[in-house]
A and B are shown apart, each in its own frame.
Chain A
Amino acid sequence: MSTTHPTHLDSVVGDAHHAEHHHELSFIKKYVFSTDHKMIGIQFLITTLLMLMVGGALALGVRWQLAFRWSTMPIVGEWLFSGEGGQISPEFYTMLFTMHATVMIFLVIIPILAGAFGNFLIPLMIGADDMAFPVLNMLSYWFMWPAILCFAFALGLGPESITGVIGGMNAGSAQGWTSYPVLSAIAESAPGSQMAQTWWLLAVTFVGFSSMMGSINYMTTIINMRAPGLTLFRMPLTIWAMFITAILQAFALPVLTAAGFMLVADRVLGTCFFIPSGVIVNNADPTTGGGQPLLWQHLFWFYSHPAVYIMLLPAMGMVSDMLSVMCRKPVFGYKPMVYSLAAIAGLGFIVWGHHMFTSGMNPALGMTFMISTMMIALPSAIKTFNWIGTIWGGKPQFNAVFLNCVAFVSLFVVGGLSGIFMAAVPVDIYFHDTYFIVAHFHYVLFGATLFGVFGAIQFWFPKMFGRMMNDTLGQIHFVLTFIGMNCTFFPMHMLGIAGMPRRYADPYLHPYLEHLLPMNQFMTISAMVMGFAQFILLFNFVYSIFCGEKCGRNPWNANTLEWTAPSPPGHGNFDIPPVCYRGPYEYSSPLAVDKDYLPQSEYIPRKPGEKPGDGQH
């Protein structure tokens, strides 16, 4: 264990120096079937960013129909519906929103947080040379591809002879991402309920495998491979969040996988877990039955509510870290932050019923779920106050990273508060399955998580590629996305209050919704602007990989361990195995004399008379 550190780590030649100790890897081993957590993280990141564009395109299809219903839909209209003058079919619309949600949730948000950032950051931030199980890690990425392939089949892409999806995209999976039976269980009940739905379930199972491999790996790595001195309560909040997320995944996922297999069995083997007797759909033979559709809802939401936190907690952790760095100030209330993360995760397991207030389950359950749901707002509130506390008194640098983080907090507040309306059972009677809920979860998943991700991409980009992303482009992207996002999703609250149900191909068929057309057109145009803005991000990303400004090890003057590694880190990450002496957030500490940060790995000899522990907790 070394006690002295070079003060100018950048002077150590990272890559070249390091590579000497390892044999050269072939291109395939290095960039494709890599077991290096950093490469896997970057693979995840690029894959998910591409999927983000696919999901966005599907969303724009949805928005097009809502604004210019039954008019020629650009691109797909002519391609698939030329006989009808490019006017899409209603089942195509149901496919669009189903696959939009599916792609965004299973191929973007979950893998970009856990897969991309979890992979890239966990070993680096805890001072490990790689994950505990590198091959498992590689498999977790490569299991995404069967999932993507199956989702493509579920979307109706791919040859009919292989997929069995009759009618191509018109018969793409269309049960909503929640796949409620009986609609999803009986093939005759909708065009999308035929083979596409089986592919969909298979794909979700593959995503589940991938996540499960990841989460086992993360837990093991975080528990066993921390650098010397990095105690649990010296871990950055990002790592705490990843750790708790991994636990959530590990406990919730098996339930979804089991439910998925039950549904596949209902569809393929003729079991009736979710199908009651005597149901006649589309003049098919009556079902023999004995099952209960609500069972699926319980099982599904038992996974999918925790999944909402899987889609949020890592972003919360990363934003906490970024805010602290950008404000040059310790995170306000580190331990309350950790405890509230844990509380959200814990409570997350007992609130699933709030998705089912109007479902016909025992109404007494509704009350208990309401109380637990209200209570889960509490740790979220605590976190929000602490983020504001973190900025308070700081010296913020108003760059793209910081702006995205502030947007995260600001928009998360909206998403959190709108959740209270639906947590209240009587009010939810009205709001259930209206656009209010659509507004709510977009504020959480887009407003919070994605802005956190945008910030994180720009924050850790130098570590990934050794170059900075362009900050001006970053700020332009931020402004356009922020404005586009709010103009698209804020009016959805009003649509919800006006009683507009979700998943309607043509809401204006109903006179009480007719007057909402102009508002929807405004939202659609905003959504297009927002969609456009993402090309700026992509451009900035690709451009900066090759032409960005080169940077050293620690361009942000940050404390956590990953910044002591070279940028980009070589195989095995650290040229000098780091040792941790203190918590991750000692910014502007009086102990640091010539700079306003104190890296976790920097040793400061104790002054005479100082008590142990001061400044190095």
Chain B
Amino acid sequence: MGKFWSIFFIFWSIVAVVAVAISPAMGWWFPTAAESPLGEQIDDLFFLILYITTITFIGTQVAMGYVLWRGATNTDDRAEFSHGSHSLEVIWTIVPAFILLFIALYQIPVWEQFRIQSHFPQDAVNSPIAEVTARQFEWRIRYPAPGRVFKGKSDIERWLKQPEPGDLYTVNDLHVPSNKPVLIHLRSGDVQHSFFIPDLRVKQDAVPGMVIPVWFEASRSKAYEWVCAELCGWGHYKMKARVVAESDEDFKNYLHELELEQFDDGVPELADSSAAGEEEVSE
């Protein structure tokens, strides 16, 4: 039986490796390759770790299979009497230590770009696209009035604190310009949620009581799926939304359409141009 079990353990690890190897072809893999510059770097890091861990996995499983097979075929009267090897211990302490430290340090620049505010793309920071408020179970979006120019940090903070009459509102449908970094301010209206766009490899929790800036860049003009990744109650799975990345032109048009819609007074022939305008006059 010993030989059978040695093969059994080898066999499972082969199945595991094969399963991973065929996964991309079977569609059990990333929904798409990352479609943002940061996401591409994250993918690269993922593959780096994947290669290192695969080699380690194969190494340990082969070693395991080998020692089992040797044990199964061992015809000696007695097992080897050994309490270990100091030099082996040193080797298998130092080598993994270096590999692990390398992996850790190699990650830092990408993390810096994504989360350390001083490394954020400044253009995006200076003109946030929208404020996204997660609530049970939807994403409420507030754009600044078209043409609203932010004068510095304090102005943005003021806008985040106090809505303005020209702000535009939507739900579950965030439009952003593609091919340039954009920044949203993420907050939660009730419990904790998480802003997750799989294709862009962006995830950030929305924490009650905090306003968290999140930046991302979509390299293509298309609609990206956007979901919630932190348990937020019974309807957690329902927070289905999309981020539409589009050209600057389309984005502006979209905001214009939104504005017309939002200031619609229900009178067909006049709905187009004038009605919305007066909203601002009072201010």
Contacts and interface: CB of A to CB of B under 8 A. Distances in A.
Given A190-B234, A414-B57, A427 B49 contact: yes
Given A388-B60, A395-B71, A494-B28, A332 B207 contact: no
Contacts of B199: 512
Contact of A360 (B68, B84, B136, B210): B210
B49 A94 contact: no
A367 interface: yes
B97 interface: yes
Interface stretch (A197-205, A213-221, A302-310, A373-381): A373-381
A511 B225 contact: yes
Interface residues of A, number: 117
A375 B100 CA distance: 7
B67 A392 contact: yes
A585 B231 CA distance: 48
B229 A501 contact: yes
A421 B60 CA distance: 18
B79 A328 contact: yes
Contacts of B46: 421, 427, 430
Nearest to B210: A360
A333 B67 contact: no
Interface in A334-357: 334, 336
A279 interface: yes
B70 A433 contact: no
Contacts of A289: 209
Interface in A415-437: 417-418, 420-421, 423-427, 429-430, 432-434
A78 interface: no
Interface in B79-118: 79-85, 88-89, 92-93, 96-97, 100-101, 103-105, 107-108, 110-111, 114-116
Which of A175, A186, A334, A371 has the largest count of B CB atoms less than 10 A from its CB? A371
B80 A394 contact: yes
B74 interface: yes
B238 interface: yes
A413 B225 contact: no
Interface stretch (A104-112, A562-570, A587-595): A587-595
A299 to B, nearest CB: 15
Contacts of A532: none
Interface string B220-251: 00000101111111111110100000000000
Nearest to B230: A433
Contacts, number: 326
Contact of B16 (A385, A429, A486, A503): A486
Contact of A182 (B15, B23, B192): B192
A417 B53 contact: yes
Nearest to B63: A388
B171 interface: no
B140 interface: no
Interface stretch (A1-9, A24-32, A157-165, A402-410): A402-410
Contact of A279 (B27, B63, B190, B225): B190
Contacts of A433: 194, 196, 203, 229-230
Contact of A509 (B67, B76, B136, B237): B237
A328 B79 CA distance: 6
B98 to A, nearest CB: 10
Contacts of A280: 189-190
B203 A429 contact: yes
Q: Most chain-B Cβ atoms within 10 A of its Cβ — which of A181, A289, A388, A395? A: A395
A588 B81 contact: yes
A74 interface: no
Contact of B93 (A328, A382, A503): A382
Contacts of A385: 60, 88, 92
A471 B203 CA distance: 49
A363 B68 CA distance: 45
Nearest to A422: B49
Contacts of A277: 209
A515 B111 CA distance: 31
A119 B57 CA distance: 35
Given A389-B88, A394-B79, A501-B196, A293 B208 contact: yes
B194 A503 contact: no
B1 A398 contact: yes
Contacts of B5: 398, 403, 406
A358 to B, nearest CB: 5
A531 B42 CA distance: 37
Contacts of A358: 194, 203-205, 229
A482 interface: yes
Given A395-B74, A433-B230, 19 more contacts: A174-B234, A183-B192, A190-B234, A275-B208, A333-B83, A336-B93, A358-B205, A360-B205, A374-B104, A377-B96, A391-B67, A398-B72, A406-B5, A413-B57, A418-B53, A486-B12, A499-B30, A510-B225, A511-B225
3 nearest A-B residue pairs (beta carbon): A276-B209, A393-B80, A363-B115
27 contacts: A175-B231, A191-B234, A276-B210, A279-B189, A327-B71, A358-B229, A359-B205, A366-B111, A374-B100, A374-B103, A377-B100, A378-B93, A385-B88, A391-B68, A394-B67, A394-B71, A395-B78, A396-B2, A398-B72, A407-B9, A410-B64, A413-B61, A427-B45, A430-B198, A501-B229, A505-B234, A588-B78
